Amino acid sequence: DVFDEVVVVDVLDSEDKAHLTLLRRPELGVTFTKLHCWTLTQYSKCVFLDADTL
């Protein structure tokens, strides 16, 4: 069986402006949002698709 559900989460921002500026990648601050995947313990299996894989 295949099921689908979209779980909307709040954005987690590293707020590490200094290092992100050095990298010239300010958009990487919100990559911490992926950590929400580890809170999906109510599921036996999960698939995470990052935007660059679509």
For the stretch 11-35, pLDDT in tens is 889 999 999 999 999 989 998 888 8
Percent of the chain scored above 90 by pLDDT? 28
Distance between CA 45 and CA 5 in Å, rounded?
Answer: 12
Vertex 24, ends 19 and 27: CA angle to 5°?
A: 85
pTM greater than 0.75: no
